[in-house]
Amino acid sequence: MATYHPVPPQAQPAAVHMDSLHRQMLHPHMKAAGLEPRSGESLEAAAERGIRIRSQRLVCDKLAARMRKEVQFNRKVEINAELRQAKSLLQELLGTDPA
């Protein structure tokens, strides 16, 4: 399910190249979605990272749900190890320190 992030309307940016125009137009939307492009990162790479972040969040949510449903302690330990690894990868994609 896509999340809608409202961005107030803005004037058309001035740009010499289409890539620059796309970057200027999409930057407010990416920022509103919490996906700030890294320095030197292309627009395509930032979008791809956004897709990977969304996918990794889904993996983390599924593992957390599995852990909540599991009754046996030894299986919970295994699922928790997988969850920690998935969260670590998510934090790496987001570029933040684990909290």
Model pLDDT for residues 43-65, shown as the tens digit of each residue: 788 888 888 999 999 999 999 99
Is residue 89 included in any domain, yes or no? yes
Tell me what the pLDDT averaged over the chain comes to: 82
Say if residues 90 and 56 touch (Cβ distance below 8 Å). Answer: yes
- Give first-to-last CA distance, the chain, whole Å: 26
Overall number of domains in the chain: 1
pTM: 0.69
Is residue 4 included in any domain, yes or no? no
Is residue 7 included in any domain, yes or no? no
Confidence band for 74, pLDDT divided at 50, 70 and 90: very high
Is residue 36 included in any domain, yes or no? yes
Is residue 23 included in any domain, yes or no? yes
Is residue 26 included in any domain, yes or no? yes
Q: How far is CA 50 from CA 6, 24, 34, 43, 71, in A?
A: 17, 17, 9, 11, 34
pLDDT at 1: 54
Is residue 45 included in any domain, yes or no? yes
Quickly list DSSP for the chain: -PPP------PPPP-SSHHHHHHHHHHHHHHHTT-PPPTT--HHHHHHHHHHHHHHHHHHHHHHHHHHH---HHHHHHHHHHHHHHHHHHHHHHT----
Question: For residue 69, what are the domain limits?
Answer: 18-94
Is residue 27 included in any domain, yes or no? yes
Position 13 pLDDT exceeds 70: no
